């Protein structure tokens, strides 16, 4: 009787438990390789199939966050480079 109640409770927990979202692109998920979440990702490019690199909705939103972060870092780097060039042009006396 105890084993019957155990089997019921274990099946109930698997049904109510949420599945983790797929953050990798679908080809990397199917091949079980690590995806770097870029669009197209590095593994898909190395396999020569960048056109097949597609993400689920959850993975796409994760990609967008990473893409925005990269874009912000590039903009900040460009701004800092221009400020540095301006300071070098003005010389050491204008500090």
In tens digits, the chain (95 residues) has pLDDT values of: 555 555 555 555 556 778 888 889 999 999 999 998 888 889 999 999 999 999 888 877 766 666 777 889 999 999 999 999 999 998 876 55
Q: What is residue 2's predicted lDDT score, i.e. its pLDDT? A: 52
Q: What is residue 14's predicted lDDT score, i.e. its pLDDT? A: 55
Over residues 58-74, the pLDDT tens digits come to 877 766 666 777 889 99
Total Cβ atoms within 10 A of residue 37: 20
pTM: 0.49
Q: Which residues, including other chains, have CB under 8 Å from residue 38's CB and lie 6 or more apart?
A: 63, 66
């Amino acid at each position: 009787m105890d084993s019957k109640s155990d089997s019921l409770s274990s099946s109930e927990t698997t049904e109510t438990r949420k599945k983790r979202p797929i953050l990798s692109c679908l080809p990397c998920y199917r091949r079980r390789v690590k995806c770097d979440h870029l669009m197209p990702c590095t593994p898909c490019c190395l396999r020569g199939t960048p056109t097949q690199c597609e993400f689920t909705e959850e993975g796409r939103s994760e990609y967008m966050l990473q893409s925005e972060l990269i874009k912000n870092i590039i903009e900040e780097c460009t701004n800092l480079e221009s400020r540095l060039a301006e300071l070098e042009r003005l010389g050491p006396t204008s500090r």
